[in-house]
Structure formats: C-alpha cells, structure tokens
Structure 1
Amino acid sequence: MAVRFPGKIWWTLFAALFAALFVAACGSSSSDSKPALTGQQQIRHVFVITLENENYSTTFGSTPKAPYLATTLAAQGALVQQYYGTGHVSLDNYIAMLSGQSPTTDTDNDCMTYSDLKSTGTTPDGQTIGTGCVYPAAVKTLPDQLKAAGFTWKGYEGDMGNDPAREAATCGHPVIGTQDMTQVAEAPSAAVPQGDMYATRHNPFMYFHSIIDSSDCGTNVVNLNANLEKDLQSVDTTANFNFITPSLCDDGHDAPCADGRPGGLTSADAFLQEWVPKITSSPAFKKDGLLIINFDESSYAPTNGLDTTTNPPTLTLAFTGTTCCSQQPGPNLGAFPQTSDAISTVPGSALGMPSVPQVTVNLTKQSFGGDQTGAVLISPFIKPGTVSTVPYNHYSMLKSIEDIFGLSHLGYAGQAGLVGFGSDIFTNL
C-alpha cells in the first residue's frame, strides 16, 4: 500500500534533499571551496634567523668557519651566494627587513639614544624623511600587514629580559629619549646569573610605534629560550611569520662573549645546531615551512690598527658598502664616502680585543650598501643542494615574504624591477 504524506511533510523532505545535494556539490564549508594555493603561496610558515657581521667568503669559502651552516645546512636547501645586506652597521638592516625603510642618520649608526623619529614627509616610493629611530605609527611593517590579512607573527629575542633592570622580557626596549643600555653585553653576575646579551638594535619590532604601542607587542615579542620550542609543538601554536634574533653571542656578533664562550661563527654555528633541527622537525615546517638564515651585513676591515695614542684607544672600521639589485640610498643619507668619529665606546672584547678594556670606534663607509653575506634557505619546496647565483638583498626578502602571503609591497620592497626569491631557489614547487 502506498504511503501518503501530508503536503507540509513533502516540502520538508524536498528541502532537506535539496540542501544535502547542495552541500555535496559545493563543499561542506566556505574554506573548502577556496582554490588550492599554488607556487610560493603554498608556504604558510616562514622562519627567519638573522646572524651578524660576516663576509660571504668567511662563512661559505673553501675553509668555512661555520661548517654546520656552510656545509650541512646549505646541502639541505639552497645556498644563495649573492645575498647582500642593505647597510652598515646593524639596525638599518633589521629595519629594512621588516618595513622596506631606508636608513636615517640615526638608524645608520645603531641609535645609541632610543629616540622618536621626527618625520618631515614621505617620498613617492614610501620612504620616511626625517631623523631619529622609532618610526611613527603611520609607518607600517610586515607584522601590521600580516595582522590585517588574518595571519599571525611572532618575534623571538635571545636573552631579552635576563636583566629586568635593562629591559622587559616581552617587548623589551629603552624608554624613549634615553640611552640604549643594551648596546653592550652584560656579563653574568650574582644578580643576573646568565648575563644579558640582548640587543635592542637587533630587534626591529622595537623601532615602530605601530608595534610597541600595541598590546600585540607584549604577546608577540618574547624571550626566545622561554617560548620558541614550546610554540613549535603544533601547527596551531606556530605563527605564520617568525623572526628569530639570537643573543649577541649566539648571533656571532661578539667574540669572545661576555659569558666566556668563543662567540663569532663558532657560537653562531652552535646556536644553529641546537635550534634548526627543532624548527625543521616541527609540524608547521614539515607541512609548509620556509627557513631563511641570513646575516644582517658583512664584516668590517680595521684601518691602520688600534690607535693607542688616544684614551681610550681608537679603532677605525672601514666598510666597502657594496650593493646589489639597484638599491637606492634613500632620502636621509648624504654623499659617500662618509666618516663618523666616536660613534660609540665599547669593550674591547666586542671587537675581538679582550685585553683592551674600552675602545672608541670610528666608522668609514665607502658606500651605503651592506656587502655580500650569502644566505641559506631550507624548505620542503626547495630541492637539497640547490645553489642560486641571482642577486638578492633584504628588500628582496621582504618582497618575497609579502608575495608568499599575498600582501602589497612596503617601501623599497616595492622598488621597480626588484626581484623576489624565484624558481632558482624554489626548485621543488
């Protein structure tokens, strides 16, 4: 006998059947209907480790001083031979990587005083004109872009907060208008057993009011050792963009270090041996990661040795300042060559002279670039043993990361003709 349904029930059954067919045809959620990511945009987790002050020939030459980086890690991914810093002496490079901004006269000399940048305008290509260090909130950064696009970011800072009297353990920076006490490493003591080799000038997040005035700063700019390994445990706890700054010892800046370790490339190589396997074995990296290991700039060449006729003794450091990629100097620097006298007085140990208590440093720059440093990139999307001879610099890196996440180009990352990382590096897409 046929079963007869009232009209309302027929309509209910019909609506349910139609909904089921619609879901089957279109997918169970809006995210399922998005087109699959292709090319470099398959990368969803980027890690950057920035080391300090080494020439390409020293790091990657025939007798490399960092064999784990130059031999083991380079063989796992791509050796980018023609990678260049964008300036000397440190801070200007970090700012370029995060914002595409060229130096001011203050950031070009590491901002011994942590001062606000007084802007007098902006060039058509997005460069801030002015003097000072900490950019106004209107000047945006890669983290600002990522947040606006729904991505996450984090900065991991070696030793930050070891001495709470110098800087906080999150978002650690001097008070605006005061001397930056992190310019020199602090040796271990009874009060600070581990010492404190954090350097604000190597933490680019601290030079933008759009970050330091935000609650995100306290959450996202954190101590490296206390947080990175924990955050790597799952995809959900790993940020899309991770900028990792080792301490002044672990990044190779100091040699010897304030805690007695050798420093230089020896300590930098040891840092990489500890942390790179933790990154590359993490779920996020194995799924869709990219690790970039670069140097902020090349090293210097002392001129005429240590002048002991002054008190304290004086050392003049010379930089060639070679550039690539049609890099521009920006609106704030004068003509080159330039000499800056007595930019700082530092312990001799910071310059490889442990027997000299203090040294006054002069700088001579032949040009405005950061010279050739080389870089290593590792990713599931890079075939092991890849070698690239295409010229790149920090602006290229910023452009490449922006391209990965589908963002617009900030500052000189948007320079006409600038090339981002290409098929010479991503050989396994």
Structure 2
Amino acid sequence: MAIRFRGKLWALYASVFAALFAALFVSACGSSSTPAATGQQQIRHVFVITLENENYASTFGSSSKAPYLAQTLASQGALVQNYYGTGHVSLDNYIAMVSGQAPTPQTDNDCTDYEDYNLTGMTSDGQAIGTGCVFPASIKTLPDQLKAAGYTWKGYAEDMGNDPAREAATCGHPALNTADQTQRAEAPSAAVPQGDQYATRHNPFMYFHSIIDSPDCGTNVVNLNQLQNDLQLTVTTANFNFITPNLCNDGHDSPCVNGQPGGLTSANAFLEKWVPIITASPAFQQDGLLIINFDESSYASQTLNTSTKPATLTLTYAGGTCCSEQPGPNLAAFPQSQAYGSVPASAIPGLPAALGNIALVMAKSNYGGDQTGAVMISKFIKPGTVSTVPYNHYSMLKSIEDIFGLSHLGYAGQTGLAGFGNDIFTNL
C-alpha cells in the first residue's frame, strides 16, 4: 500500500530533501555563492596626482628631497618601483594616461603651438595616424568612457585662470592653432599678483575635441581651489579625479618664478598639504585609490658646448621602456635630437649665469620615458607594500578602466599588458 504524506508533513520532507540535494550538488560542483570582490573591483573613487621629471633614484633614494613621498607615503601604501613613463618630454605622457594614444612629433615635443590634429588613418590596434596636438572627437578618452558608463570625472589644475589673458579659469587652453603662452610660468606682477604657473601641456583633457568642445569641459576641468570643497561629501566627489599641480609644485621648475625652490622640495610640500585632505575625505575612506606618479624621468646626461655662440646645452634622455611598449605609428626612428629654443643659463642648475642665454637641444636615445617609480595608497593596499612588477602609463589607464568595467583604449589594450594586480592590492 502506498504511503501518502499530506499537509505540513509533506512540506517538511520536501524541504529536507531539497536542502540535502542542494548540499550534495554544491559539494560536487563547487560553491554557488558569488565570489567576494577584489580590492580593485571595490574601488569607486580614483585620485591621480602627476608630478614632473624625476628619476627613481632621485625621488626614492636615501638622499631624496621628497621624504614625505619617499618615506611617509610609501610606507602608508605601495611603492611601485618599476613604474615607467612612456615618452619624453611631458605632453605625450599625459595623453597616454587618459587615451592610450602614442605620440606624434608635436606631442612628443610638448606642442609649443596648440594645433589641430591632422588625422590620416587608424591602426588596427586603435592608434591615430597623423600629426598635430588636439585629437578629433572620434578619438575617445577615459572621461568619455566614464560618462558613457554613468560615472563622473573631474580635472583640477592649479593656477588655471590666474591670468585670464592666457587661459580661462575653466577648460583653460590656448586658442586653436596659436602659440601656447602657458609653456613658461608667469611671474607675479601688479596685474597678476599670484603669477600664473599653469601649463596646458600638463592638463591632458585639453588635447581632445571630445572634451574641449563639450559643455562638460567648463564644469569638469576647474581650478584646484575647488577640490577641497568637492571632497566634503561622497556625492560631490567624482569617481575619477586628475590633479595637476602648477609648474613649481609639480617639481618641473627649479627655482620658480615666485621665489619658491621648486623641484622635489616644492612637490613634497604640495603633497604634504593635499594628500591628507584627499585621504581624509569620505569618498577616499569609503573606496578610494590615490596614485602619485611622475610623467617622465629626468634626462640621463647633459653636455655643455661653449665653443658655439650662444653656448649649447644638450640634454640626453635614455628613453628606457617597459611592458613591451611600442613607439606608435607617427614617430621617426631613434635616436633623435631637436633644437628647443633658448633659455637663460641661470635657469639650469649648475650653469654660470654669465653664459647668458644658451641654446637648448633635446636628444633622445629611445622613445620611452624611463623609470620613475610611483606610490599608491588605498585601504585595499597593505601599508609597506613594495611592488617590483613593471608598469607604465598605459598600465595605469588599463587598470582604471578595469576598476570601472570599461573597455581598453589604444595601447591600454595591448596584448599582454599587465594592469595593477595583487602585487599592489595586498590588503584583501
């Protein structure tokens, strides 16, 4: 005779059987629970501070003039020893960080004229072919990706707009196809009491029509003095924040037109002021990552020839690379050299002012930006972490795209390129 279970008794047996079956299935096939997100996947607020022109040994060696960066901040997060720039001199590195685009002859030499890009084609790996500086709207950037995915971004540039005759206080750049008057710092004067040490070439967003032709540019590319207010609340803090110190505080100039020492000394003081403000913010405390990098290393050697009139100073860059970096489709073969105008001898440390103005020549042995090192801080990074894995600016772009679930632009999508991994995100 068949036994039939009814009502609550049947429900009890059915639930026990279902639970037993599920347990056996999970045991055989593995856990059915969703894996915990890695530290990188949990990050939702990224801050990048880019400094200028220092090699790894100068910044992080025992005699560093930036002890707050080299010792204090490195001990709070990860020292990424083998971080590399992607080119010399400045602008090509900044463009690589936000677009994955390789240099043109003009961006490789800082675009002293703010000229439109003449696009003649595209490579199969997403590189624009052509010459010039300001990429057409078809060439997309990290901000374009973030906006399309529903995330926010902002660029903060110190001193931008101090002299309205040079650049606007938001989305500040020269008029198209004119000389870039921001190539040199402007000293304080009666008309501009604070001086103006903003450099367009250190603000990568200004080199893409997809940004400068958008109303977002006036809202999102602003003076650094707005950062502290934006950090007060998580909802007013952008998901991606790119911070550009002025020519003194990023270490580019030394000495500076305002009487400050510049170099690593001023860069160190800038970090001492701003890093605690960033790391104390609600957004950073919740899920932030701070990256402090350098655009490129300094030159490897300098040669002074006083037999010429005027005297000629040749600065030679080694151009070391990592990560199977490619030169891109637009540059001539290396080594290269190019006249770079004239500068007062007094502006070059170690040269006698009596030489007056000297001719400056940039010589590049190869196309890379050499080893600079970087520091990264996050609650997902164990204090005192040291990474020896090679990374460069394309790696950083790839990593930020991975954080926000975006596709890879340009050379950030290069086969085999490593993004930041568990050598950095050690506190999971």
TM-score between both structures, scaled by the size of structure 2: 0.89
CA gap of 1:201–1:409, structure 2 versus 1, over 3 A, is same
> Do 1:184 and 1:346's aligned partners in 2 also have CA atoms closer than 8 Å?
no
Q: Amino acid of the residue matched to residue 318 of structure 2?
A: T
Deviation at residue 288 of structure 1 after TM alignment: 0.2
> Do 2:84 and 2:321's aligned partners in 1 also have CA atoms closer than 8 Å?
yes
Distance 2:43 2:299 in 1: 35
How do residues 145-184 of structure 1 correspond to structure 2 at under 5 angstroms? 145-184=145-184
Q: Secondary structure at the match of 1:197?
A: coil
- More displaced 10-residue stretch of structure 1: 80-89 or 299-308: 299-308
* 1:256 counterpart residue number: 255
Distance 2:160 2:347 in 1: 19
CA gap of 1:72–1:167, structure 2 versus 1, over 3 A, is same
* 2:326 counterpart residue number: 328
Distance 1:184 1:324 in 2: 31
Q: Amino acid of the residue matched to residue 319 of structure 1?
A: Y
Q: Secondary structure at the match of 2:286?
A: helix
Gaps in structure 1 of 5+ consecutive residues: 1-33
* 1:128 counterpart residue number: 128
Report the RMSD for the aligned CA atoms in angstroms: 1.6
Q: Amino acid of the residue matched to residue 116 of structure 1?
A: D
Distance 2:75 2:87 in 1: 28
Deviation at residue 128 of structure 1 after TM alignment: 0.3
* 1:420 counterpart residue number: 419
Distance 1:170 1:35 in 2: 43
How do residues 52-201 of structure 1 correspond to structure 2 at under 5 angstroms? 52-201=52-201
TM-score between both structures, scaled by the size of structure 1: 0.89
Aligned pair count reads: 393
Percent identical among aligned pairs is 75
Distance 2:163 2:143 in 1: 27
Which 4+ residue blocks in structure 1 deviate beyond 6 angstroms? none
CA gap of 1:358–1:212, structure 2 versus 1, over 3 A, is farther
How do residues 155-304 of structure 1 correspond to structure 2 at under 5 angstroms? 155-224=155-224, 226-304=225-303
* 1:17 counterpart residue number: none
CA gap of 1:191–1:119, structure 2 versus 1, over 3 A, is same
* 1:50 counterpart residue number: 50
**Residue among 318, 329, 339 paired with 2:316:** 318
* 1:21 counterpart residue number: none
Deviation at residue 335 of structure 1 after TM alignment: 0.9
Q: Secondary structure at the match of 2:234?
A: coil
Q: Amino acid of the residue matched to residue 118 of structure 2?
A: K
Gaps in structure 2 of 5+ consecutive residues: 1-33
Deviation at residue 40 of structure 1 after TM alignment: 1.0
* 1:385 counterpart residue number: 384
Deviation at residue 358 of structure 1 after TM alignment: 3.7
**Residue among 342, 346, 349 paired with 1:345:** 342
> Do 2:303 and 2:315's aligned partners in 1 also have CA atoms closer than 8 Å?
no
Deviation at residue 306 of structure 1 after TM alignment: 5.5
CA gap of 1:232–1:350, structure 2 versus 1, over 3 A, is farther
CA gap of 1:296–1:223, structure 2 versus 1, over 3 A, is same
